[in-house]
Structure 1
Amino acid sequence: MSGRRITYRTADGVRIPGTWRHAFIRNGSYFLTDLFIYADGLIDCWGLVTLEEFEEKLRTGWVATTLPDGAEASAHNLASWKFSEARSWLTPELVLAEVRDTIDQLNQRADSTGRCLAAVDVFLADRTEENRVAAQTAFLAIPTSQRRYALGDMDSKDWPLRVLVAGPGGRTYLPVDPPVSQESYNRAIEYFEERTRWNTEHDSRVAADEPATPYAPAVHLHHSYPNKPVADPGHHGLRNNYPAPITVEDVVYPSVAHAYWALSVTRPEVRSAIAAAATAAAAGELAAKTARREGWDHIRLTVMTSLLRAKYDQHPELAQILLATGNSTLIYDDVNSAFWGDNGGCGRNWTGRLLELVRSDLHVRHCGDPGL
């Protein structure tokens, strides 16, 4: 069970989403480590392998599910020990089934639980013996470690499922369960009928504060080095180094970047030199040669927000370009800063986030809401 752990690897420039879970790898002794599982079906168990190769790793014990007494183990140089009366709830078959489900989940397709619930819906709509057996087969295909979570009901757990698919007089997969009585079966039917009603009501609810489309396509504001304004700059016009002069406290700066770097220093002569720099890059180089204002790291977000608002207030044509990005996430690259840029997912993307804030301000003005 991998929960909500999220990671990725890059293959041919494409990010492949993944997740991880703990595992023991046996390479002489036993090592407690992480098993990485990716959406394209590759598994990293101290080397990328296909699902079929992973199955062989399980069969041979490279990925260990048996922990013999006296065997030596360690965990990333944090600790070492020997197993004594170790108990494992896993088997190679169970791990493989859980990993198959994880790959399905990473691809946002039905896993064994989803396939089981779909088969149960078919049975409830047409209660033939053939459909019941199909639902039972799908239920038993869920890894035993996951069956109790199949309904997402930690009060009833999987009781209604195992009773429903067993049928009156049948036996569930749990040896301790008695044969299914007609009364128990009827209660399971009632449970699913009520569950269907609840799901129908839930699906028909309209969220109070969510867009109809959760994720608009992201807009990537790639690096660009414009020398002069153009008639139709497109998304390049949203870059901080785009030559769109702004006036701040009666001083005209050639771009947001010029103004940002000028305001980051205290010496008036350096500010003037930065404001007169031929390019935004040159402005940054001048700023780097002198000390920042005291507390600059605490106020720079406010300064940048003010400068972005000034830019789009003073350049309506650029404001229209920003508004045209709708609700898209704005991904801003900055080769010089992991604070301001997204930089391939490694940065904090503050410029992109502040542009989204300014965009929201512009939408409010466009709507003409007097209450704000």
Structure 2
Amino acid sequence: MAMWSRTSRDVDGESVIGSWRHAFINNGGSYYLTDLIVYADGLVDCWGLVTVEQFRDKLRSGWVATSLKEGAEASAHELASWTFKNVQSWVGADELYREVVDQIETLNGRLDSAGRCLEALDLFLAEQTDANRQRLAGAYDDIPEHRRRYILGDMDAKDWPLQVLITPLGKKLAGQSVTEERRETALAYFAEWRAGRDEAAERTPTVAPAVVVPGSFHHNGWPDPPGILGLHTQYPAPVRIGDVLYPTVEHAYWALRTTDRAVQDAVLAEPNTYRLSQIASGIPARPGWDASLQATIAHLLRAKFQQHEALALELLATGEGRIVFNAAGFGDTYAYNSRRHLIGRLLELVRAEQQAWRAGLLDLGALDQSETPNFVVYEE
């Protein structure tokens, strides 16, 4: 069974998550080992982005190859070349198509075919009617054939107990008729299986769902109240650092980045946060800026949420889940790749500090508007 690994692609500054496995392309009778990448937005990349329907056509035409010809030449780019001999293919075109569809469901946080089958199984075990048995059988058939044996997570019994449940009484399964006795044995198996699954679930720590801060900004004004958008570095929440009141965290970042007073004044006077990077990104950063970057951004975020109670409550409302910051943040190219992830982690840190402060475990009084430690904003 092929294992899928996670990846992503950038679309207009947004990260679209995906997953990939290996596949063969049949180009002119020669086979090329390449990456088959599936994305959450339903596009598939295998020597070019296509829709799921177009990918199915490529499978059926044999261009994405699931049947490998004996004696054909094959290669992996800059790695090796070989000739097929005694070829065995495990996954057919229709099965690979269904596997790709399952991956799209998984990437979007929805149940794949195996998950839907287990859901139908629970329904049948709770109410053993013919209608529920037929529903379970249909859900089982929807699973790519090469993945069915793994659905119960039992490498000894595999999917046999499930097949016994969905096979009508008197019909043969692997040469033996399904009898009431075999059916009862399968039901007893599932009683133990469910108990083991429930026990494992109790031992597994609950993982809070991720909270996504959207990447789109509001050109026509921010909503009031801002909700999750208040976590943006560009949200208009003035932040006082020392003697200077910055219109946003974004303004503070770009003004503090440089020691050039004219640039700092231009940053403070610019109402459009999209233009701040145009003003300041080409100006040399102050000495030690990169080394102190994480601490600086953390300080700015602490000040923002300590100085704006409503926004602090929005941050606390994210609970304990990971914060996925899909906005670019600080406008430069690097932000699209790395800095937004840094902002998400630092927002989680500030959230924890707010929780500790409210529990009386941490003193954040120094972040009061009148007592905030000063940065060197101007240097003569």
Structures share fold, TM-score greater than 0.5: yes
Determine which structure has more spread, i.e. the larger CA radius of gyration.
1
Is residue 2:287 matched to residue 1:292? yes
1:288 is displaced (CA, Å) by: 3.8
- Measured after TM superposition, the shift of residue 181 of structure 1 is 5.9
- Corresponding position of 1:113: 114
1:116 CA drift (Å)? 3.1
Find the counterpart in structure 1 of residue 342 from structure 2. 350
Pick one of 175, 186, 194 that aligns with 2:184.
Answer: 186
1:151 deviates by 1.4
Which structure has more RCO (C-alpha within 8 Å, separation ≥ 6)? Answer: 2
Question: For the structure 1 residues 90 and 259, does the alpha-carbon distance in structure 2 shift closer, same or farther, using more than 3 Å as the test?
Answer: closer
Q: CA deviation at 1:25?
A: 0.9
Q: Does 1:19 align with 2:41?
A: no
1:190 deviates by 0.8
CA distance in 1, matches of 2:51, 2:326: 33
Contact 1:168 1:181 in 2 (8 A): yes
Q: What SS is found at the alignment partner of 2:329? A: coil
Equivalent position of 2:81 in the other structure: 80
Cα shift at 1:150: 1.0
Q: Where do 1:183-222 residues align within 5 Å?
A: 183-198=181-196, 214-216=209-211, 218=213, 222=217
In 2, are the aligned partners of 1:236 and 1:242 still within 8 Å (CA)? no
How far apart in 1 are the matches of 2:282 and 2:238? 18
TM superposition shift of 1:208: 6.8
Q: Answer yes or no: is the 8 Å Cα contact 1:253–1:275 preserved in 2.
A: no
> What amino acid maps onto 1:363 in structure 2?
Q
CA deviation map 1:306-332 (0-9, x unaligned): 45445655xx3x354333333443555
C-alpha displacement of 1:147: 0.9
Distance 1:136 1:31, change over 3 A: same
Kindly provide the amino acid, as one letter, of the partner of residue 279 in structure 1: V
Offset, 1:85: 2.2
TM-score when normalising by structure 1: 0.69
Q: Give deviations 1:182-223, integer Å, cap 9, x for gaps.
A: 5543221112123344556677x5987755xx2445265959
- For 1:50 and 1:221, the matched residues in 2 are separated by 25
Q: What secondary structure, in the 3-state scheme, does the structure 2 residue paired with 1:145 have?
A: helix
Describe the shift of the 1:73–1:262 C-alpha distance in structure 2 as closer, same or farther (beyond 3 A): same
Tell me the distance in 2 between the aligned counterparts of 1:209 and 1:135.
28
Using structure 2 for the length normalisation, give the TM-score. 0.68
**Alignment partner, residue 313 of structure 2:** 323
Task: Select which of 259, 272, 279 maps to 2:267.
Answer: 279
CA distance in 2, matches of 1:221, 1:51: 27
Q: Following superposition of structure 1 onto structure 2, how do residues 1-372 of structure 1 map, counting pairs within 5 Å?
A: 1=2, 3-8=4-9, 10=11, 17-28=17-28, 29-39=30-40, 41-128=42-129, 131-132=132-133, 134-166=135-167, 170-172=171-173, 175=174, 178-180=176-178, 183-198=181-196, 214-216=209-211, 218=213, 222=217, 235=230, 239=234, 244-247=239-242, 252-255=243-246, 273=261, 277-280=265-268, 285=280, 288-289=283-284, 292-293=287-288, 296-309=289-302, 316=307, 318-328=308-318, 329=323, 330-331=325-326, 333-337=328-332, 341=335, 343=336, 347-369=339-361
Residue 193 of structure 1 aligns with an amino acid whose one-letter code is A
Structure 2 unmatched ranges of 5 or more: 220-224, 269-275, 365-380
Letter of the 2:149 partner, please give it.
R
Query: What is the RMSD computed on CA atoms of the aligned residues?
Result: 4.5
State the percentage of identical aligned residues. 39
Q: Residue 275 and residue 244 in structure 1: after superposition, are their counterparts in 2 closer, same or farther (change >3 A)?
A: farther
Once the two structures are superposed, residues 13-65 of structure 1 have per-residue CA deviations (whole angstroms, 9 ceiling, x without a partner) of 98665433221111111111122334454433334444444333223211112
Aligned to 2:91, the other structure's residue is in SS state coil
Counterpart Cα distance in 2 of 1:109 and 1:257: 36
- Structure-2 change in CA distance of 1:321 and 1:102 (3 Å): closer
Q: Which moved more, 1:150-159 or 1:43-52?
A: 43-52
Separation in 1, partners of 2:281, 2:193: 66
Equivalenced residue count is 341
CA separation of 1:104/1:72 partners in 2, compared to 1, >3 Å: closer, same or farther?
same
**1:91, CA displacement in angstroms?**
1.9
Deviation at 1:131, TM superposition (A): 4.9
Taking structure 1 as reference, are residues 371 and 352 closer, same or farther at Cα in structure 2, changes over 3 Å only? closer
Deviation at 1:348, TM superposition (A): 4.0
- Structure 1 residues not aligned, in runs of 5+: 225-231
> Which letter maps to 2:329?
D
CA distance in structure 1 between the partners assigned to 2:198 and 2:361 by the alignment = 36
* Cα distance between partner residues in 1 of 2:312 and 2:341: 16
Cα distance change, pair 210–93 in 1 and its aligned pair in 2 (3 A): closer
Q: Give the C-alpha shift of residue 71 in structure 1.
A: 1.2
